[in-house]
Amino acid sequence: MKKRHHTIPRCYLQNFTDSDGFVWVLDTKDNIFKTKPENILVESHFYTVTLKNGDKSLFVEDTLANIEGTYAAIFEKKITKNLFLTDEERAKVSVFIAALFLRTRPHRESMHRMVLSMKKSMEEWRQRYEDNPEARRIAAATPSSGKAIHMSDIEEYLENYKEEHALSILAQLPHLSQIIFDMKWSIWESPSGGYVTSDDPIVLLRPEAIKKYGPNAFGSLPGFAYKDVDVTLPLSKNRLLLAGWILERDSYIGVDSEMMERMNYRTITHSSERIIGESESMLKAIRLKYNKTAYKK
């Protein structure tokens, strides 16, 4: 059974290699090293799930592998040549992007933290409820909506959250892929290269909401369905996808180094533990510029 699973696909990382086929990596301890794409962002049995009969299954990993292969062919055939996609090709790329957003270790850990917080809130509410007879009376008189999250559901998820995450990838793919498909796409080409990626490469931001409410405020939290959100994903060392609802049309455009650096800022500051680029000198410059400010958590 295959046990080495990429949290970020190898076919994607290959688009950031140097002339010798290596990617260069900067971690949160300031280490810079080079490695082959197949040897980074790999975890044992990351997508393996246990069936009811106790057998281990790779159906999530196998599904993701098929999605990756389809995307890699379209990227090489169309996107690298600045050609617009058919609806079918666009749908397949949308599935790849959605899977890339859902599959990462940072996303899994974020969901884990959210459910832990939910459990804590439910425990605190239950304690207040038990200590307050009036609250019990009001709750008993309130009609049920028929939909409820029980503590047993929360505890079961937390006990098996790694496998629950793997299963949730496939469950959420159709809905999220449709949202991405419906957005307008603009691919920004930097002819000289220079884009970096990370272990969490898809970034969602709501610039206008941030201006109004401030960064990390409740009113500026991002999400795919917000009509003012924009989504960035470095596709290779010289191409980046910008998707959103306010773009007028799909496009391919060339950008200068200043705009490329602005997009890199988003990628770098959103990273979790790894920044990935095509050269040691590029990562040394990032380490110098962002030391103790951006990529370090």
Which is more confident, 156 or 87?
87
Q: Is residue 147 part of a domain?
A: yes
- pLDDT exceeds cutoff 80 at 189: yes
Q: Is residue 65 part of a domain?
A: yes
- pLDDT exceeds cutoff 90 at 158: no
Weakest-pLDDT range from 141-145, 247-251, 254-258 = 141-145
pLDDT at 1: 76
Which is more confident, 12 or 217?
12
Q: Is residue 218 part of a domain?
A: yes
pLDDT at 297: 46
pLDDT at 294: 46
Q: Is residue 276 part of a domain?
A: yes
Which is more confident, 234 or 157?
234
Which domain covers residue 45, as residue numbers? 4-290
Query: Highest mean pLDDT range out of 156-165, 210-219, 264-273?
Result: 264-273
- pLDDT exceeds cutoff 60 at 208: yes
- pLDDT exceeds cutoff 80 at 296: no
Kindly report the average pLDDT of the chain as a whole number. Answer: 89
- pLDDT exceeds cutoff 70 at 111: yes
Percentage of the chain exceeding pLDDT 70: 90
Tally of domains within the chain: 1
pLDDT at 278: 96
Cα gap 73→11, rounded to integer Å: 10
pLDDT at 190: 94
Q: Is residue 134 part of a domain?
A: yes
**What's the rounded mean pLDDT across residues 37-63?**
94
Q: Is residue 295 part of a domain?
A: no
Predicted TM-score (pTM) of the model is 0.88
Q: Is residue 297 part of a domain?
A: no
Q: Is residue 176 part of a domain?
A: yes
Which is more confident, 133 or 145?
133
